[in-house]
């Protein structure tokens, strides 16, 4: 499958199975909705296999013309390789493959299904020799780590944006961006695909703890992060304040206040109430300054200026210049 080009992956499992984890980029065109799958499964367990097959066919047969059109619309390029998969490469994907081929649409199915793909991901990530060397970006809140990753990626430098993959920004204010985290399976699959598509022997990544929200960075990747090159990023307080304002000041005030309420234990009631007043008065520069000085900087403890304790220390007041300095270092 990885050797093919222009691949269109079609996950024919139920929506809940797809949500739990799929091959990255796969489109969900289910043969059974969740309730239908449950009914077929109940008949299989409580009565017999043949009755379950009969019920499954009765449910799916009227849907087949529409499913065929959905698959066709997902593939507008005649050179596309359409691959169907279910859980184990069994009846769901094989029967749909046969139907599509009979109707003149050439498709194949993934032998072993999603289960085989999961085994591949687990086996790959369990072997630390498969993981490239990590170049780790360290620095205080507001130095621009995430934006710098994006700039490096635009310049064809291999990166892993763990926070983006995990849909988690790490702090109480980071959660303002919202959205649900993926499953652990989906998280690992995205990391696997990222590493497999990396043509170089390193990847740039932001420093993270092993746990990101409800997810865990695979051991092999985390070990490479700990032993990799460490780059320290720093920027002036004004630059960092300005970046926080850009990131958060456009959100509704009630969401900012809700985040501040979570800091009562760390900051104390008086400082918390002062921050809430400042938000209501839209004095966001003061809010950001207090948060950096009194919460984020003591929490993370990185140096505020250039130091010699890292493999490289980079001024990030200008992120384009910082990106070029890092690229020169990586050559």
Which pLDDT band holds residue 174 (cuts at 50, 70, 90)? low
Strand partners, 136: 205, 230
Model confidence over 208-247: pLDDT tens digits?
Answer: 999 998 999 999 999 999 999 999 999 999 999 999 999 8
Say which CATH topology domain 127-330 has: Rossmann fold (3.40.50)
**Residues belonging to the active site:** 86
Is 7-122 in CATH node 3.40.250.10?
A: yes
Distance CA 43, CA 38 (A): 9
Model confidence over 51-72: pLDDT tens digits?
Answer: 988 999 899 999 999 999 999 9
224 three-class SS: helix
Question: What residues does each domain of the chain span?
Answer: 7-122, 127-330
Which pLDDT band holds residue 175 (cuts at 50, 70, 90)? low
| Residue whose tokens read 């409580």 | 46
Task: Sort 27 into a burial class: Cβ within 10 Å, 0-12 / 13-18 / 19+.
Answer: middle
Q: Which two tokens stand for residue 178?
A: 């919202």
Q: Do domains 7-122 and 127-330 have the same CATH topology?
A: no
The model's pTM: 0.89
């Amino acid at each position: 499958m990885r050797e093919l080009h222009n691949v269109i992956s079609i996950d024919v499992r139920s929506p809940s199975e797809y949500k739990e984890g799929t091959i990255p980029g796969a489109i969900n065109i289910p043969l059974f909705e969740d309730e239908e799958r449950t009914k077929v499964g109940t008949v299989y367990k409580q009565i017999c296999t043949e009755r379950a097959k009969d019920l499954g066919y009765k449910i799916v047969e009227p849907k087949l013309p529409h499913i065929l059109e959905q698959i066709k619309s997902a593939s507008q390029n005649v050179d596309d390789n359409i691959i169907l998969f279910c859980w184990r490469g069994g009846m769901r994907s094989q029967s749909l493959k046969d139907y599509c081929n009979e109707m003149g649409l050439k498709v194949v199915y993934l032998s072993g299904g999603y289960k085989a793909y999961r085994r591949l991901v687990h086996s790959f990530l369990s072997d630390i020799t498969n993981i490239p060397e990590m170049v780790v970006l360290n620095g205080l809140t507001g130095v621009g780590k995430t934006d710098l990753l994006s700039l490096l990626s635009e310049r064809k430098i291999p990166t892993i944006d763990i926070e983006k993959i995990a849909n988690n920004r790490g702090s109480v204010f980071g959660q303002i961006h919202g959205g649900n985290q993926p499953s652990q399976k989906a998280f690992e699959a995205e990391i696997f695909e990222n590493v497999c598509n990396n043509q170089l022997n390193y990847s740039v990544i932001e420093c993270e703890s092993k746990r990101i929200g409800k997810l865990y960075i695979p051991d092999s990747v985390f070990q490479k992060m700990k032993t990799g090159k460490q780059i320290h990023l720093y920027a002036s307080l004004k630059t960092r304040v300005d970046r926080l304002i850009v990131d958060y000041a456009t959100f509704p005030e009630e969401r900012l206040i809700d985040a501040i309420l979570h800091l009562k234990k760390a900051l104390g009631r008086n400082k918390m109430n002062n921050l809430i007043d400042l938000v209501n008065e839209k004095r966001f520069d003061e809010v950001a300054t207090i948060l950096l000085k009194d919460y984020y900087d003591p929490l993370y403890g990185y140096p505020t200026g250039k130091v010699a304790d890292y493999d490289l220390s980079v001024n990030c007041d200008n992120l384009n210049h910082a990106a070029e300095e890092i690229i020169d270092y990586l050559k």
